[in-house]
Amino acid sequence: MAKLNQIIAVEKGVKSKSFQELTQAHHGLQKPALLAGISRTYQPKDEEGEQLPPESTRVQVKAEDILRDTAKSLTKLFDVTATKDWANCEARADVVVDGRPLLTGVPVTYLLFLEKQLTDLYTFVRKLPVLDASESWSPDPSTDAWKTDAVRTIRTKKVPRNHVKAEATEKHPAQVEVYYEDVPVGYWTTVKFSGALPARRVNELVERVEKLQRAVQFAREEANAAEIADQRTGDAVFGYLFG
């Protein structure tokens, strides 16, 4: 008895070979000259006439032979594909995570689906937004988000001041330079909020996806290692089609 993974490995080569042979057969039947033959002899009108050798062309391609060869080639493909598809209905395995079955009796086709989905989920989880590590965050039940501690900062305002560079005299006015001074006028109390996730949570999710990916891959290999019965459908199909 063959194993499912062996049939899967063989199927691609059989499919490629069958397609190539079918294409060649099709092209061969599109050349009328290969299908045609002739035989003719020459007889002069009298004994003094010119003698010519007989001419003949053999038929090089016979449609019935092509049909027989095509049926033989495609029968192998039909049988291999049937064996794989029948086996896919029966090949099953459990997905086991941390020693416990998460899913039981999963068909191999669904395991392939899971693998593809988990690859996409891995990319999604790896790109989840992470809280800024430079801040200290804590859960805020009122907003169902994360928040920082309140930080109080001074708000200042620029106030113009006069600096007398030279006092006024009888002949010259005072020389005054205007400059601005930052004067405290109030206080800001700031609390930052975020809907991102702690790095610990993101790392935990990534680890879970990776763990499930490994479990699904192991289950697929186990299902593909199941022994299967060969199916014979090609003879019935082509016996009807070309018989």
pLDDT in tens, 215-241: 999 999 999 888 888 889 999 998 998
Residue with tokens 């006069």: 162
Pairing of strands 193-194, 227-228: unpaired
Mean pLDDT, rounded, for 128-138: 95
Q: How far apart are CA 53 and CA 66, in angstroms?
A: 33
User: End-to-end CA distance of the chain, in Å?
Assistant: 30
- Residue 76, pLDDT > 70, answer yes
Q: How far apart are CA 20 and CA 15, in angstroms?
A: 9
The full DSSP string for 85-133 is HHHHHH-EEEEEETTEEEEEEEEHHHHHHHHHHHHHHHHHHHT--B--T
Both tokens assigned to 80: 């291999």
Closest CA to 7 of 236, 238, 233, 231: 231
Please provide the average confidence, as pLDDT, over all residues in the chain: 90
Mean pLDDT, rounded, for 142-146: 94
Residue with tokens 């859960």: 139
- Residue 108, pLDDT > 70, answer yes
Q: How far apart are CA 202 and CA 200, in angstroms?
A: 6
Which pLDDT value is given to residue 1? Answer: 61
Q: Which residues contact 201 (CB under 8 A, 6 or more apart)?
A: none
Percent of the chain with pLDDT over 90: 52
Under the banding of pLDDT at 50, 70 and 90, the label for residue 98 is: very high
The 10 Å Cβ neighbour count of residue 71 is 18
Which pLDDT value is given to residue 147? Answer: 96
Q: How far apart are CA 121 and CA 133, in angstroms?
A: 24
